[in-house]
């Protein structure tokens, strides 16, 4: 059995800790580096303090020294952090699984360009269930293309900094593409005051932030006399870690290219 050497970025964060634990518990994976930004209070501390299990890996901000020898870096941080890691991974031949959201159009183009040199899995949501939902949404949108208004509602914890979530935006993109629409032209992100009747071709978004909600997403197709709702509710971040590890394994043998979870799960 081939053992993959895995590095985890943002190790002290909520998702980072879940990833560390998942990697150390997997029989075919080995944690080879735990990364954090300069100034983080956990630097040089043992990973074991974060996951409650013995581990001899110290958290470091010396990315250039830590990443060589790693097969895959798993990154659930922020766009600026992702590109800092990417610049090193690109030159060292370290593949990346990127679960970071909030990238601009230009940043997405830059990721595409970088994938000519290194293999990347980029997905707004690593959950296996959510990616099955994406497939269902494509089917539903094609069947419900006439007479149904489409609204997307998402809810996350109070600490999430971007809205709508990357998953909600991707859901909107899947639906818009299935309907032959451009999401940037039909998306409605805010409603306030006297706004007039709903334009039939639009796709509405609503965001909720509060408490410790891991992630809830619902796409509503509201027609006359009926309403179809396709929902996913995450109760634990472990579901994202499971998907991220599947993505890391998928990259074995891939030298370059930009992939997503639909590729990983064979849903194309």
Question: What residues act catalytically?
Answer: 156, 160
The rounded distance, in Å, linking the Cα atoms of 14 and 181 is 36
Residue whose C-alpha is closest to residue 112's, from 92, 86, 94 = 86
The rounded distance, in Å, linking the Cα atoms of 127 and 15 is 13
Strands 29-35 and 95-98, sheet pairing = unpaired
Residue 208: CB atoms within 10 A of its CB come to 12
Strand residue runs (E) in 115-256: 119-122, 149-156, 187-188, 203-209, 215-222, 227-234
Cα 27 from Cα 29, distance rounded (Å): 6
CA 207/CA 187 separation, integer angstroms? 14
User: 33 forms bridges with which residues in the sheet?
Assistant: 7
């Amino acid at each position: 059995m081939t053992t993959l050497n895995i590095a985890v970025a943002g190790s002290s964060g909520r998702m980072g800790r879940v990833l560390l634990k998942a990697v150390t518990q997997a029989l075919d994976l080995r944690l080879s580096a735990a990364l954090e930004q300069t100034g983080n209070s956990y630097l040089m501390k043992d990973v074991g303090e974060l996951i409650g299990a013995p581990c001899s890996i110290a958290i470091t901000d010396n990315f250039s020294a830590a990443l060589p020898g790693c097969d895959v870096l798993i990154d659930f941080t922020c766009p600026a952090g992702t590109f800092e890691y990417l610049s090193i991974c690109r030159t060292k031949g370290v593949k990346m699984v990127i679960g970071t959201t909030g990238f601009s159009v230009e940043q997405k183009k830059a990721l595409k360009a970088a994938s000519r040199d290194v293999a990347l899995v980029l997905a707004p949501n690593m959950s296996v269930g959510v990616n099955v939902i994406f497939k269902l949404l494509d089917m539903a949108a094609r069947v419900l293309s006439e007479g149904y208004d489409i609204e997307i509602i998402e809810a996350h914890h109070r600490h999430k900094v971007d809205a709508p979530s990357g998953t909600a935006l991707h859901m909107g993109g899947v639906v818009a593409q299935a309907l032959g629409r451009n999401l940037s032209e039909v998306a409605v992100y805010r409603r306030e005051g006297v706004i007039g009747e709903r334009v039939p071709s639009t796709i509405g978004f609503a965001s909720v932030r509060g408490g410790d909600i891991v992630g809830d997403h619902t796409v509503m197709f509201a027609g006359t006399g009926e309403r179809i709702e396709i929902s996913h509710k995450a109760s634990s971040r472990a579901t994202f870690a499971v998907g991220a590890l599947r993505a890391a394994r998928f990259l074995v043998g891939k030298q370059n290219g930009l992939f997503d979870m639909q590729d990983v799960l064979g849903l194309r």
